[in-house]
Structure formats: structure tokens, C-alpha cells
Amino acid sequence: MKTIPLIVAGYGHVGRAFITLLKEKKEDLAVRYGLGFEIMALVKADGSYATGEPLDAASFSRDGKAWTEGNPSWQAGMKVSAAAASVAAGGCLVDCTPSELHSGEPGLSYIQEALDRGLNVATASKGALVVAFRRIMTEASAKGLSVKFSGATAAALPTVDVGMISLAAARIEGIQGVLNGTSNYILTRMGEGLSYADALQVAQSHGIAEPDPSYDVEGLDSAAKLVLIANACLGTDFIMDDVRAGGISGMPADVVRAARAEGKAVKLLAAASPSRKGKGWSLHVGPSVIDPTHPLFHVNGTEKGITFLTDTMGSVTVTGGRSSPRGAAAALLKDLVNIYRQL
Amino acid sequence: MKTIPLIVAGYGHVGRAFITLLKEKKEDLAVRYGLGFEIMALVKADGSYATGEPLDAASFSRDGKAWTEGNPSWQAGMKVSAAAASVAAGGCLVDCTPSELHSGEPGLSYIQEALDRGLNVATASKGALVVAFRRIMTEASAKGLSVKFSGATAAALPTVDVGMISLAAARIEGIQGVLNGTSNYILTRMGEGLSYADALQVAQSHGIAEPDPSYDVEGLDSAAKLVLIANACLGTDFIMDDVRAGGISGMPADVVRAARAEGKAVKLLAAASPSRKGKGWSLHVGPSVIDPTHPLFHVNGTEKGITFLTDTMGSVTVTGGRSSPRGAAAALLKDLVNIYRQL
């Protein structure tokens, strides 16, 4: 039995789901993988919970709400760098902070501090990696540390694993993905006859779209995932500015209906294609009309999917995977197991 | 640059495709993974090619045909045990022998000899593993060796990788697969109106079905793959006799047409389901009528697919992957890379 100390950063939907899931899976992880994970610190923007001992939910939460005032484990102002003192080298930072795509913060600083301390990283946040993917990976690799990010690349849908492990030794010749469940849900409802505005409203009423849906419907979420998947699977070093990204905001109902009438469908596709200039790749996100022979044609509603075209293995498509904080938490836990298990 | 010595066993379609692919990918493997593979011995039923030096194609083949008489590298009667003398511990046996599902031979003896010598194993053959999966895995694990078998479990379609790595920490609650391309091709053509006999004949004329198609159409190939996938992903210890297996041989055209008329389809499904008796699993292969919401509904022709149902990650489906000796060779090469790379 190997016990691994964790710092969890971020206590939003994903952070909470991760902590809950870790508790649920404790016995199973011990039996199946011989692994035990102990949360030594939980870091929020304004301080940390840390006592030098493993934390349980009562140390940082009452009735599911963060508990700070009068809480003996609450250390106002304590940051990752200080919290990491209670985590031995070889432990792991679990980054559940929000994705900020321009500065990459706070994840970027957190990940840097983790690597400085000899910690591995599992992140569900895209920010740091869209800003500094290659630098982070190179530094981790030089230190013999892992940085895994399944939770940031379509969560429970396997993308990077498949491209890096299942397709090892094959040459990937193209990637296409339906990577944003919210946009795909809206387009699916539009295919049933709704206007964009109505489909968005339905999505919002089901909690599928945010009150401000721009991150999803403008293609930013898809673009960020595409950057990470391309960098990991194609060995590139792209940032957000390298993606020609458009979204589905304000998509005319006519376009979707016309596609449907011809037996086709509109999807928000995120694609990496060989660059026309010969060497290298170009990344593109935008609505595309695809026909029923396309392997992502039947990916509907909030479902996601990704297709890899390869030289020796043909075309490989993965679809499904739960889209939710729990799905993201499951992806974080998968990465943790894969960092520490004996394979 | 790490150089890994290999013994290749078997020089049929897959063995030849593997040797060709290894040559094509030599530079790419060095650049991307820092790995070089050298074939130190090629073992056939009646002897081996081995000189103590790495072999090139001219050492064992003329115009693509095995070259024995008068060939200085041909050692009549030499078996894996002796050929392994030219391979240092830590090298790998690449098993491309035919799948014999009752005795598991010759693969079973070969794999045993490889493990005895401290060699890892990548196999495209199902025989040894359907006979003695758990024993082989336990012994390999105790010796710190890897036995990988992507080439035996639907080849270029990722199945075991996804179940073991991409879904790590999730509980798999069911597996369904369309695992045999030949049967699926026949059923697809039957869905277009052909009789079983005509569809089989078309498949044979395209080289998709063997002259004796029973291994594919009686469900044996699917059952063998299911045994391996279940044992790897569910931790079970099944053998062929544990599978209730039926095939599509002689399937009445009416049944397929009736399904089609209702918008449904007949698939040869291989399934692992929780046992009705409570604990454990039951394995089943047989034709099933599925409807368009089933994630494998659109897997047509020689294509294959697999769906995993999980507790935390929802349903994850993988489809595609080239069905050919080259696809199997690509799966062997993938396993080799994943055994020896730094991840």
C-alpha cells in the first residue's frame, strides 16, 4: 500500500466533486491499485486548510459549505508554496482552479510551485497549460515528474490517453473533435427546429449552459482543449492565439435546418490539420456541416467525441464520457492512479 | 537512445507485416521515443533465423518468401528457448503465432520461455492468454515483466488500453463490443438485402472472410477477444468455456431484414454483464437486435467497436481501427513502445 499526499487547489464544483469521489473510492483504490491518497492541504484564493495531518471533510466544510471563521485548520492567506510544506516530494498537486486562458493564473503559479517542490500535477484547469504547455512539460520531464491533464481535455472522454498511448507509434495525420457539450446540445436542439436563442435558453434552464455562455458558444473552451490535445498528441507548442476559432453564437436556424433537410448536421468541430504550407499543423474551431458517414455525426446532445486519423491504425473515434464536475473529478482520479500505479 | 533486442515468433501475415512496419518506422521511433528495436531471432515452427547479430530482411526472406535452404542464418530445429540466448534479459518476445484456442500452443510455451528468460512479451495471438491469462500475468508481474496483447484484442481498435488506463479508478459496470469485422461485414451486407450465403461469398471474394469462415462466424474470435478484455479490465479469470458463445452462421435473412424494417440492426455482440447470481460476471457472444440509440449501432462493415459502461465516467465508446495484418502489426508496435518508453 502506497500512500500519496495531495494538495487540492480550488474548492468549486470540480474540487468538491473530487473530494467527494476520493472518499467514495477510498477502499476500491486500495484494493485495486494498492494506492491511498491523503489530502494534506486544500488551497483557496484567500488561504488554505492545513494542519500537518490528513484532512477530512469536516476540516474544511460544514453542510457542504466552506468553513473558515473559527476553523482551527484554516490558515488565512496561506498559499500553495506554504501549504506544500506539509506534502513530501513525490506527492501531487490536484489543480481544480478556474481556467483563465490569458494569464493562466492561478494555476500557472501553483503548478510552478508544485514542480519546484518535486510534486506531480493532475489538473482539471486549462489555463496554465494553454499558456505554457511545452515549458511546463519540459520542466516536469527534466525533474522526472508527471503533469497530467485529462480533466482539462474533455474530462471523462478519453482524448490525450488515446492519442498518446493507444495510438503510440502510429503517425497521427489529423484530429477532429466535438469537444464542447454545451454547444453540441444547442446545435442538437436547433436541429430539432429551435432557434439559437430558444435552444440556448433551454440549455440554460437545464444548467447545461452558463448564464454567460460565451466561453462555450464562442468556441473558446473547444479551442483550449484543442490546443492541449494537439500539443500532447502531435508534439506541437501552440497557444490560444494560434487557433482560428469561431463559435456558434447567433447561428441562423436556417443553416441548421437546411443541413438537417439534406440528412446532414452542423457540429462545432475542433480540428488539427496538416498545414497547407507543408510542415506543421493548423488548428481551427468552427461550425461545420458534416454528413452521416462522418464518425462524429451521431454525437448528439451534451455528448462529446474525438476522431484521430492515423497512418497505420486507420481512423479511431472515441465518444461519450460524462460531462459534469463528477466526470472531471473522475478524470483527475484516473490521472492520479496512472501516475502512481505499477503498470 | 535505448536499443531493445527482439525475438519475433511466427512469419505469417502478421509477422511479416510487423517486420515491414518496424523497418518503416525505425527513424520515427528513434526521434519520437528514443527507442530502437533489433530483431535478434525470427522463430518458425521448424527452426529459427539467428546469427547473434541483428537480422535484416535479407537474412530470412527472398522476394518476401522465407529462405531456409543454404541460408547461413537458418538454424533448423532451433526453438524459442535456444533463440532467446541471443537476447538479453529485458528484451521482448513478439508473438505472431497462430491463435490455437484449446492448447494455447505454440504461444503458451513461447511466452513461458520468454518469461523464464526475463523477457517482456507483446503478442498478437490469443491462444496462450485465453488458456492461462491469470497465471501468465501473475508470473510476469512477480518478475517485473510486461505482457501486452493489444494485437490480440481487436488490434488497431483500442480496447484494453481504454479499459485499463483511460477508465482507471472508474468501476466498469458492463462491456459490449462488435469485435469481429468479418461477421459485422456479413451482417451489414445482409442488412442491405443479401442472404447469409451470398453475403459470406462476397466477404470471401474480398478476402474479408477465410475460405473456412467458422472461426469468425461461429463467434469464437469474438469470444476469445472478450475473454482477454474481460480478464484485463474486470480482473476476472475466464477461459473460453466460460463464454456462452453463438455466431451468425446461417442467420436467416428475414431476421436481419425485419430488424432493418423497424430501423434497427443485427450485430454480433460480445458482452460482459454482471452475473444474475449477484457477484461476478457472465460473458456472452451472440447476434442481438439493437436500436439506433445503441452506441454501436453505426459500426458497419468491417469496422469494430467497444462500449464500456462505468459508474463515474458514463458510457465510453471506441470505434474504428484498421482490421488487417498491418493493423495488428501497428498494435504490436504500440505495445512495444508503451513497454519501453518513459511515460
Render A92-109 in DSSP notation, one character per residue.
EEEE-----TTT-TTHHH
pLDDT class of B225 with cuts at 50, 70, 90: very high
Measured CA to CA in angstroms, residue A229 lies from A248, A332, B145 at distances of 21, 16, 31
**Residue A152 contacts B, CB cutoff 8 Å:** no
Q: What is the pLDDT of residue B343?
A: 65
pLDDT class of B221 with cuts at 50, 70, 90: very high
Chain A residue numbers with beta carbons less than 8 Å from the beta carbon of B168 are 33, 333-334, 337-338, 341
Chain A residue numbers with beta carbons less than 8 Å from the beta carbon of B295 are 319-320
User: What percent of chain B lies above the pLDDT cut of 90?
Assistant: 90
Cell of A93: 498537486
Question: Helix, strand, coil shares of chain A as percentages rounded to 5?
Answer: 40, 25, 35
The rounded Cα A54 to chain-centroid distance in angstroms is 26
Secondary structure letter of residue B242 according to DSSP: G
Rounded to the nearest 10 degrees, the angle between the axes of helix A196-205 and helix A181-191 is 130
Q: What is the largest CA-CA distance in chain A?
A: 64
Cβ contact A222:A285 at 8 Å: yes
Residue spans of chain A under pLDDT 70: 343
For testing the chain A interface, which of B31, B37, B165 should be mutated: the one with the most A CBs within 10 Å? B165
- Residues B232 and B289: their CA atoms lie apart, in Å, by 27
pLDDT class of B198 with cuts at 50, 70, 90: very high
Q: What is the pLDDT of residue A343?
A: 65
CB contact under 8 A, B157 and A336: no
Per-residue pLDDT reduced to its tens digit, A217-253: 999 999 999 999 999 999 999 999 999 999 999 899 9
Chain A residue numbers with beta carbons less than 8 Å from the beta carbon of B316 are 156-158, 318-321
Chain B residue numbers with beta carbons less than 8 Å from the beta carbon of A333 are 168-169, 312
Per-residue pLDDT reduced to its tens digit, B93-141: 999 999 899 999 999 999 999 999 999 999 999 999 999 999 999 999 9
Per-residue pLDDT reduced to its tens digit, B227-263: 999 999 999 999 999 999 999 998 999 999 999 999 9
Q: What is the pLDDT of residue A17?
A: 96
User: CA neighbours within 13 Å on the CB side: how many for B16?
Assistant: 13
Nearest-CA distance A75 → chain B (Å): 32
Q: Which residues pair with B65 in a beta bridge?
A: B62
Cell of B46: 521448424
Q: Please work out, in degrees rounded to the nearest 5, the angle formed at the alpha carbon of residue B332 by the alpha carbons of B133 and B243.
A: 35
Q: Is the pLDDT of residue B279 over 90?
A: no
CB contact under 8 A, B161 and A157: no
**Residue A160 contacts B, CB cutoff 8 Å:** no
Q: What is the largest CA-CA distance in chain B?
A: 64
Cβ contact B151:B335 at 8 Å: yes
**Residue B170 contacts A, CB cutoff 8 Å:** yes
